[in-house]
Amino acid sequence: MLLALIAWPEHALAHVQTGEAVGFLTGFLHPLSGPDHVLAMLAVGLWGAQLGAPAIWLLPIAFPLVMALGGMLGLVGVPLPGIEYGIAMSALLLGAAVLFEARPPLAVAAALVGFFAIFHGHAHGTELPPGQSALLYSMGFVIATGCLHATGIGIGAVHRWPWGRALLRAAGAGIAAGGVFFLWKALS
Amino acid sequence: MKRRRLCRRSVPAVAAWVAAICPAAAEAHLNSTGMGPLYDGSLHFLTSPEDLVSALALGLWAGLRGADHGRRALFVLPSAWLLGGLLGATAAATPDSAVGSSFWLLLLGGLLAADAKVSLRLTTVLAACVGLAHGYANGAGMGAAWDAAGALLGLGAAVFVLVALSAAFATSLRAPWTRIAVRVAGSWIAASGLLLLGWSMRSGWR
Protein backbone atom coordinates (compact mmCIF):
# COMPACT_ATOMS: atom_id res chain seq x y z
CA MET A 1 0.00 0.00 0.00
CA LEU A 2 2.84 2.33 0.89
CA LEU A 3 4.58 1.62 -2.39
CA ALA A 4 1.37 2.23 -4.32
CA LEU A 5 0.86 5.50 -2.47
CA ILE A 6 4.39 6.66 -3.20
CA ALA A 7 4.27 5.70 -6.86
CA TRP A 8 0.83 7.17 -7.48
CA PRO A 9 1.24 9.68 -10.32
CA GLU A 10 -0.44 13.08 -10.26
CA HIS A 11 -0.58 15.97 -12.68
CA ALA A 12 1.87 18.85 -12.43
CA LEU A 13 0.46 22.06 -13.80
CA ALA A 14 2.59 25.04 -14.79
CA HIS A 15 1.49 28.45 -15.91
CA VAL A 16 4.10 30.62 -17.56
CA GLN A 17 5.85 28.36 -20.04
CA THR A 18 3.44 25.93 -21.60
CA GLY A 19 3.88 22.73 -23.56
CA GLU A 20 7.49 22.86 -24.68
CA ALA A 21 9.81 20.79 -22.55
CA VAL A 22 9.53 18.05 -19.99
CA GLY A 23 11.36 19.49 -17.06
CA PHE A 24 14.64 19.80 -15.30
CA LEU A 25 15.54 16.11 -15.18
CA THR A 26 14.98 15.51 -18.88
CA GLY A 27 17.01 18.62 -19.68
CA PHE A 28 19.75 17.51 -17.32
CA LEU A 29 19.95 14.01 -18.79
CA HIS A 30 19.80 15.12 -22.43
CA PRO A 31 23.43 16.32 -22.81
CA LEU A 32 24.67 13.28 -20.87
CA SER A 33 23.05 10.91 -23.36
CA GLY A 34 25.26 11.95 -26.29
CA PRO A 35 28.85 10.64 -26.09
CA ASP A 36 30.04 13.19 -28.66
CA HIS A 37 28.73 16.03 -26.49
CA VAL A 38 30.16 14.48 -23.31
CA LEU A 39 33.64 14.06 -24.84
CA ALA A 40 33.76 17.61 -26.18
CA MET A 41 32.59 19.10 -22.85
CA LEU A 42 35.18 17.10 -20.91
CA ALA A 43 37.82 18.31 -23.38
CA VAL A 44 36.83 21.94 -22.71
CA GLY A 45 37.33 21.37 -18.98
CA LEU A 46 40.61 19.50 -19.43
CA TRP A 47 41.98 22.16 -21.77
CA GLY A 48 40.93 24.92 -19.40
CA ALA A 49 42.77 23.14 -16.57
CA GLN A 50 45.90 22.84 -18.73
CA LEU A 51 45.77 26.52 -19.72
CA GLY A 52 45.20 27.70 -16.14
CA ALA A 53 43.78 31.11 -15.16
CA PRO A 54 42.01 32.97 -16.67
CA ALA A 55 41.10 30.34 -19.33
CA ILE A 56 40.08 27.83 -16.66
CA TRP A 57 37.04 29.97 -15.80
CA LEU A 58 36.61 31.96 -19.00
CA LEU A 59 36.04 28.92 -21.23
CA PRO A 60 33.30 27.38 -19.01
CA ILE A 61 31.60 30.81 -18.80
CA ALA A 62 31.79 31.43 -22.56
CA PHE A 63 30.72 27.95 -23.65
CA PRO A 64 27.20 27.79 -22.11
CA LEU A 65 26.38 31.29 -23.35
CA VAL A 66 27.42 30.61 -26.95
CA MET A 67 25.89 27.14 -26.80
CA ALA A 68 22.59 28.69 -25.71
CA LEU A 69 22.85 31.11 -28.62
CA GLY A 70 23.27 28.11 -30.96
CA GLY A 71 20.29 26.45 -29.25
CA MET A 72 18.21 29.55 -29.78
CA LEU A 73 19.14 29.62 -33.47
CA GLY A 74 18.06 25.99 -33.71
CA LEU A 75 14.79 26.69 -31.92
CA VAL A 76 13.82 29.56 -34.21
CA GLY A 77 14.69 27.48 -37.27
CA VAL A 78 17.90 29.13 -38.49
CA PRO A 79 19.67 26.36 -40.44
CA LEU A 80 23.30 25.48 -39.72
CA PRO A 81 25.02 23.23 -42.26
CA GLY A 82 27.31 20.36 -41.24
CA ILE A 83 26.24 20.11 -37.61
CA GLU A 84 27.37 16.50 -37.21
CA TYR A 85 30.76 17.32 -38.74
CA GLY A 86 31.10 20.34 -36.47
CA ILE A 87 30.38 18.28 -33.36
CA ALA A 88 32.80 15.53 -34.43
CA MET A 89 35.46 18.11 -35.25
CA SER A 90 34.97 19.71 -31.83
CA ALA A 91 35.90 16.45 -30.09
CA LEU A 92 38.78 15.92 -32.53
CA LEU A 93 40.31 19.40 -32.28
CA LEU A 94 39.67 20.00 -28.58
CA GLY A 95 41.07 16.52 -27.84
CA ALA A 96 44.11 17.37 -29.98
CA ALA A 97 44.53 20.65 -28.09
CA VAL A 98 44.65 18.67 -24.83
CA LEU A 99 46.97 16.06 -26.37
CA PHE A 100 49.51 18.64 -27.57
CA GLU A 101 48.94 21.01 -24.63
CA ALA A 102 48.26 23.78 -27.15
CA ARG A 103 48.64 27.28 -25.68
CA PRO A 104 47.11 29.75 -28.14
CA PRO A 105 46.22 33.32 -27.05
CA LEU A 106 43.16 33.42 -24.79
CA ALA A 107 40.99 35.07 -27.45
CA VAL A 108 41.81 32.29 -29.94
CA ALA A 109 41.03 29.57 -27.40
CA ALA A 110 37.73 31.26 -26.47
CA ALA A 111 36.83 31.74 -30.15
CA LEU A 112 37.57 28.08 -30.94
CA VAL A 113 35.49 26.83 -28.02
CA GLY A 114 32.71 29.31 -28.82
CA PHE A 115 32.66 28.29 -32.47
CA PHE A 116 32.10 24.64 -31.59
CA ALA A 117 29.59 25.58 -28.88
CA ILE A 118 27.30 26.90 -31.63
CA PHE A 119 27.15 23.43 -33.21
CA HIS A 120 26.47 21.67 -29.91
CA GLY A 121 23.78 24.18 -28.97
CA HIS A 122 22.14 24.04 -32.39
CA ALA A 123 22.04 20.24 -32.42
CA HIS A 124 20.56 20.00 -28.94
CA GLY A 125 18.29 22.98 -29.52
CA THR A 126 16.62 21.22 -32.43
CA GLU A 127 16.51 17.87 -30.64
CA LEU A 128 14.57 19.04 -27.59
CA PRO A 129 11.40 16.97 -27.12
CA PRO A 130 7.97 18.47 -26.46
CA GLY A 131 7.03 18.72 -22.80
CA GLN A 132 6.07 21.18 -20.11
CA SER A 133 8.56 23.63 -18.64
CA ALA A 134 10.95 25.24 -21.13
CA LEU A 135 12.83 27.11 -18.40
CA LEU A 136 13.43 24.06 -16.23
CA TYR A 137 14.45 22.02 -19.26
CA SER A 138 16.88 24.76 -20.35
CA MET A 139 18.32 25.06 -16.86
CA GLY A 140 18.85 21.30 -16.62
CA PHE A 141 20.48 21.27 -20.04
CA VAL A 142 22.86 24.14 -19.22
CA ILE A 143 23.69 22.89 -15.72
CA ALA A 144 24.50 19.39 -17.01
CA THR A 145 26.85 20.89 -19.57
CA GLY A 146 28.45 23.02 -16.85
CA CYS A 147 28.85 19.93 -14.65
CA LEU A 148 30.65 18.17 -17.51
CA HIS A 149 33.03 21.14 -17.73
CA ALA A 150 33.54 21.02 -13.97
CA THR A 151 34.28 17.29 -14.20
CA GLY A 152 36.89 18.00 -16.87
CA ILE A 153 38.43 20.76 -14.73
CA GLY A 154 38.40 18.43 -11.71
CA ILE A 155 40.18 15.68 -13.62
CA GLY A 156 42.52 18.33 -15.04
CA ALA A 157 43.71 19.15 -11.51
CA VAL A 158 46.21 16.28 -11.91
CA HIS A 159 48.06 18.57 -14.29
CA ARG A 160 50.31 19.75 -11.45
CA TRP A 161 52.11 16.39 -11.34
CA PRO A 162 54.30 15.03 -14.19
CA TRP A 163 52.37 11.76 -14.31
CA GLY A 164 49.17 13.78 -14.34
CA ARG A 165 50.29 15.72 -17.40
CA ALA A 166 50.97 12.48 -19.23
CA LEU A 167 47.57 11.18 -18.14
CA LEU A 168 45.83 14.31 -19.42
CA ARG A 169 47.59 14.07 -22.76
CA ALA A 170 46.52 10.43 -23.00
CA ALA A 171 42.94 11.50 -22.23
CA GLY A 172 43.24 14.14 -24.97
CA ALA A 173 44.39 11.44 -27.38
CA GLY A 174 41.38 9.33 -26.42
CA ILE A 175 38.99 12.23 -26.99
CA ALA A 176 40.59 13.04 -30.34
CA ALA A 177 40.26 9.36 -31.33
CA GLY A 178 36.60 9.57 -30.36
CA GLY A 179 36.30 12.63 -32.59
CA VAL A 180 37.79 10.68 -35.50
CA PHE A 181 35.25 7.94 -34.89
CA PHE A 182 32.32 10.39 -34.84
CA LEU A 183 33.65 12.10 -37.95
CA TRP A 184 33.92 8.75 -39.73
CA LYS A 185 30.36 7.94 -38.67
CA ALA A 186 29.12 11.31 -39.93
CA LEU A 187 30.86 10.85 -43.27
CA SER A 188 29.66 7.28 -43.85
CA MET B 1 10.86 -6.84 23.44
CA LYS B 2 13.44 -4.28 22.41
CA ARG B 3 12.76 -4.98 18.73
CA ARG B 4 9.01 -4.48 19.18
CA ARG B 5 9.63 -1.12 20.88
CA LEU B 6 11.92 -0.10 18.05
CA CYS B 7 9.28 -1.06 15.46
CA ARG B 8 6.62 0.92 17.30
CA ARG B 9 8.89 3.95 17.45
CA SER B 10 9.71 3.75 13.76
CA VAL B 11 6.03 3.89 12.66
CA PRO B 12 5.76 7.70 12.93
CA ALA B 13 9.10 8.05 11.15
CA VAL B 14 7.92 5.85 8.26
CA ALA B 15 4.62 7.75 8.10
CA ALA B 16 6.46 11.09 8.03
CA TRP B 17 8.80 9.81 5.33
CA VAL B 18 5.89 8.61 3.20
CA ALA B 19 4.09 11.93 3.67
CA ALA B 20 7.22 13.80 2.68
CA ILE B 21 7.90 11.93 -0.55
CA CYS B 22 4.32 11.26 -1.57
CA PRO B 23 3.84 13.11 -4.88
CA ALA B 24 1.25 15.86 -4.77
CA ALA B 25 -0.25 17.88 -7.57
CA ALA B 26 1.77 20.99 -8.34
CA GLU B 27 -0.51 23.85 -9.23
CA ALA B 28 0.14 27.45 -10.09
CA HIS B 29 -1.94 30.52 -9.25
CA LEU B 30 -1.95 29.88 -6.40
CA ASN B 31 -0.47 26.80 -4.74
CA SER B 32 -2.57 25.97 -1.77
CA THR B 33 -0.66 25.18 1.40
CA GLY B 34 -3.81 25.02 3.48
CA MET B 35 -2.21 27.53 5.85
CA GLY B 36 -3.62 30.73 4.41
CA PRO B 37 -2.72 33.25 1.71
CA LEU B 38 0.53 34.36 3.38
CA TYR B 39 2.04 30.90 3.00
CA ASP B 40 0.40 30.38 -0.40
CA GLY B 41 2.20 33.49 -1.64
CA SER B 42 5.55 32.31 -0.26
CA LEU B 43 5.10 28.89 -1.83
CA HIS B 44 4.12 30.46 -5.14
CA PHE B 45 7.44 32.30 -5.23
CA LEU B 46 9.42 29.23 -4.21
CA THR B 47 7.78 27.10 -6.92
CA SER B 48 8.12 29.66 -9.74
CA PRO B 49 11.63 29.24 -11.16
CA GLU B 50 11.39 32.33 -13.38
CA ASP B 51 10.82 34.48 -10.27
CA LEU B 52 13.10 32.55 -7.94
CA VAL B 53 16.11 32.53 -10.27
CA SER B 54 15.75 36.22 -11.15
CA ALA B 55 15.69 37.22 -7.47
CA LEU B 56 18.59 34.86 -6.75
CA ALA B 57 20.67 36.33 -9.58
CA LEU B 58 19.99 39.88 -8.39
CA GLY B 59 20.84 38.97 -4.78
CA LEU B 60 24.10 37.27 -5.76
CA TRP B 61 25.11 40.09 -8.08
CA ALA B 62 24.34 42.78 -5.50
CA GLY B 63 26.25 40.74 -2.91
CA LEU B 64 29.29 40.49 -5.18
CA ARG B 65 29.20 44.30 -5.53
CA GLY B 66 29.45 44.75 -1.76
CA ALA B 67 27.42 45.05 1.41
CA ASP B 68 25.90 48.45 0.53
CA HIS B 69 24.57 47.13 -2.80
CA GLY B 70 23.28 44.00 -1.05
CA ARG B 71 21.46 46.05 1.57
CA ARG B 72 19.92 48.28 -1.09
CA ALA B 73 18.66 45.28 -3.10
CA LEU B 74 17.40 43.67 0.11
CA PHE B 75 14.95 46.48 0.80
CA VAL B 76 14.17 47.77 -2.70
CA LEU B 77 13.42 44.46 -4.43
CA PRO B 78 10.74 43.11 -2.03
CA SER B 79 9.13 46.56 -1.70
CA ALA B 80 8.96 47.00 -5.46
CA TRP B 81 7.70 43.41 -5.83
CA LEU B 82 4.90 44.13 -3.38
CA LEU B 83 4.00 47.40 -5.09
CA GLY B 84 4.08 45.80 -8.53
CA GLY B 85 1.91 42.97 -7.23
CA LEU B 86 -0.71 45.37 -5.92
CA LEU B 87 -0.70 47.24 -9.23
CA GLY B 88 -0.97 43.94 -11.11
CA ALA B 89 -3.85 42.76 -8.95
CA THR B 90 -5.89 45.73 -10.16
CA ALA B 91 -5.05 45.00 -13.82
CA ALA B 92 -7.74 43.61 -16.10
CA ALA B 93 -5.52 41.22 -18.08
CA THR B 94 -2.69 38.85 -17.17
CA PRO B 95 0.50 39.82 -19.02
CA ASP B 96 2.35 37.10 -20.90
CA SER B 97 5.63 36.82 -19.06
CA ALA B 98 7.66 34.14 -20.93
CA VAL B 99 9.56 36.67 -23.03
CA GLY B 100 9.83 39.01 -20.04
CA SER B 101 11.25 36.20 -17.89
CA SER B 102 13.86 35.34 -20.50
CA PHE B 103 14.83 39.04 -20.72
CA TRP B 104 15.37 39.33 -16.97
CA LEU B 105 17.26 36.04 -16.75
CA LEU B 106 19.50 37.11 -19.62
CA LEU B 107 20.14 40.56 -18.14
CA LEU B 108 20.65 39.54 -14.51
CA GLY B 109 22.62 36.39 -15.40
CA GLY B 110 24.77 38.45 -17.77
CA LEU B 111 25.46 41.08 -15.10
CA LEU B 112 26.37 38.36 -12.63
CA ALA B 113 28.60 36.50 -15.12
CA ALA B 114 30.38 39.72 -16.08
CA ASP B 115 30.60 40.82 -12.41
CA ALA B 116 29.44 44.18 -13.76
CA LYS B 117 30.52 47.09 -11.61
CA VAL B 118 27.75 49.68 -11.43
CA SER B 119 26.80 52.56 -9.13
CA LEU B 120 24.55 52.11 -6.13
CA ARG B 121 21.92 54.21 -7.88
CA LEU B 122 21.82 51.83 -10.83
CA THR B 123 21.51 48.83 -8.50
CA THR B 124 18.54 50.56 -6.89
CA VAL B 125 16.89 51.27 -10.24
CA LEU B 126 17.49 47.73 -11.46
CA ALA B 127 16.13 46.16 -8.25
CA ALA B 128 13.04 48.39 -8.51
CA CYS B 129 12.46 47.44 -12.16
CA VAL B 130 12.91 43.71 -11.47
CA GLY B 131 10.56 43.90 -8.49
CA LEU B 132 7.88 45.91 -10.28
CA ALA B 133 7.92 43.70 -13.40
CA HIS B 134 7.83 40.39 -11.53
CA GLY B 135 5.39 41.63 -8.91
CA TYR B 136 3.04 42.94 -11.58
CA ALA B 137 3.09 39.58 -13.39
CA ASN B 138 2.43 37.77 -10.09
CA GLY B 139 -0.30 40.12 -8.97
CA ALA B 140 -2.11 40.04 -12.31
CA GLY B 141 -2.87 36.35 -11.84
CA MET B 142 -4.13 36.66 -8.29
CA GLY B 143 -7.51 38.28 -8.70
CA ALA B 144 -8.86 41.18 -6.68
CA ALA B 145 -6.33 43.35 -4.85
CA TRP B 146 -7.82 42.81 -1.41
CA ASP B 147 -7.70 38.99 -1.74
CA ALA B 148 -4.22 39.10 -3.19
CA ALA B 149 -2.74 41.35 -0.49
CA GLY B 150 -2.04 38.50 1.92
CA ALA B 151 -0.47 36.34 -0.75
CA LEU B 152 1.65 39.23 -2.00
CA LEU B 153 2.83 39.91 1.52
CA GLY B 154 3.95 36.29 1.83
CA LEU B 155 5.57 36.49 -1.57
CA GLY B 156 7.42 39.67 -0.61
CA ALA B 157 8.63 38.04 2.61
CA ALA B 158 9.99 35.08 0.63
CA VAL B 159 11.77 37.48 -1.76
CA PHE B 160 13.26 39.30 1.24
CA VAL B 161 14.58 36.08 2.78
CA LEU B 162 16.06 34.85 -0.51
CA VAL B 163 17.80 38.15 -1.28
CA ALA B 164 19.08 38.38 2.31
CA LEU B 165 20.58 34.88 2.12
CA SER B 166 22.00 35.15 -1.41
CA ALA B 167 23.44 38.68 -0.98
CA ALA B 168 24.96 37.79 2.40
CA PHE B 169 26.45 34.63 0.91
CA ALA B 170 28.00 36.48 -2.04
CA THR B 171 29.27 39.31 0.18
CA SER B 172 31.02 36.83 2.46
CA LEU B 173 32.98 35.21 -0.39
CA ARG B 174 36.68 36.02 -0.18
CA ALA B 175 38.54 33.30 -2.10
CA PRO B 176 38.79 34.25 -5.81
CA TRP B 177 37.60 30.86 -7.02
CA THR B 178 34.38 31.12 -5.00
CA ARG B 179 33.52 34.42 -6.69
CA ILE B 180 34.30 32.84 -10.05
CA ALA B 181 31.98 29.92 -9.22
CA VAL B 182 29.17 32.42 -8.58
CA ARG B 183 29.92 34.11 -11.91
CA VAL B 184 29.80 30.74 -13.68
CA ALA B 185 26.34 30.26 -12.14
CA GLY B 186 25.46 33.65 -13.65
CA SER B 187 26.48 32.44 -17.10
CA TRP B 188 24.24 29.40 -16.62
CA ILE B 189 21.32 31.69 -15.71
CA ALA B 190 21.94 33.89 -18.76
CA ALA B 191 22.24 30.82 -21.01
CA SER B 192 18.95 29.45 -19.64
CA GLY B 193 17.35 32.82 -20.37
CA LEU B 194 18.64 32.72 -23.93
CA LEU B 195 17.23 29.23 -24.46
CA LEU B 196 13.92 30.28 -22.92
CA LEU B 197 13.82 33.17 -25.39
CA GLY B 198 14.29 30.64 -28.20
CA TRP B 199 11.41 28.56 -26.86
CA SER B 200 9.22 31.66 -26.63
CA MET B 201 10.09 32.69 -30.18
CA ARG B 202 9.42 29.20 -31.47
CA SER B 203 5.99 29.12 -29.90
CA GLY B 204 5.10 32.42 -31.53
CA TRP B 205 5.97 34.82 -28.68
CA ARG B 206 3.42 33.17 -26.45
- Is B25 in Cβ contact with A13 (below 8 Å)? yes
**pLDDT in the model for residue B186:** 92
Q: Where are the alpha helices (DSSP H) in B2-144?
A: 2-21, 37-46, 49-65, 67-89, 98-114, 120-140
pTM over 0.80: no
Beta bridge partners of A133: A22
**Burial (CB count <10 Å: 0-12, 13-18, 19+), residue A130:** exposed
Mean pLDDT (chain A, rounded) = 81
**pLDDT in the model for residue A176:** 92
Domain ranges of chain A: 24-187
- Is A60 in Cβ contact with B191 (below 8 Å)? no
Is B33 among the domain residues? no
Please report the sign of the dihedral spanned by the C-alpha atoms of residue B201, residue B203, residue B205, residue B206.
negative
Q: What is the interface pTM, i.e. ipTM, of the complex?
A: 0.77
**pLDDT in the model for residue A84:** 86
Q: What distance separates the 2 farthest-apart alpha carbons in chain B?
A: 70
Q: Give me the average pLDDT of each 10-residue run along chain B (206 residues).
A: 56 55 48 70 83 93 93 93 86 70 90 90 94 87 67 89 94 87 91 85 63
Q: Establish if A166 touches chain B: CB-CB under 8 angstroms.
A: no
Among A3-7, A21-25, A62-66, B52-56, name the most confident range.
B52-56
Beta bridge partners of B26: A12
Q: Establish if B43 touches chain A: CB-CB under 8 angstroms.
A: no
Nearest to A63 by CA among A114, A118, A125: A114
- Number of domains within chain B: 1
Is B73 among the domain residues? yes
Among chain B residues, the shortest Cα distance to A76 is held by: B202
**Is residue A11 pLDDT above 80, yes or no?**
no
Is B190 among the domain residues? yes
Is B18 among the domain residues? no
Q: Where are the alpha helices (DSSP H) in A52-133?
A: 55-75, 83-99, 106-127
- Residue from B54, B97, B199, B201 to probe the interface with A (highest A Cβ count within 10 Å): B199
Is B3 among the domain residues? no
Which structural domain, as residue segments, surrounds residue B191? 38-202
Mean pLDDT, rounded, for A3-7: 54
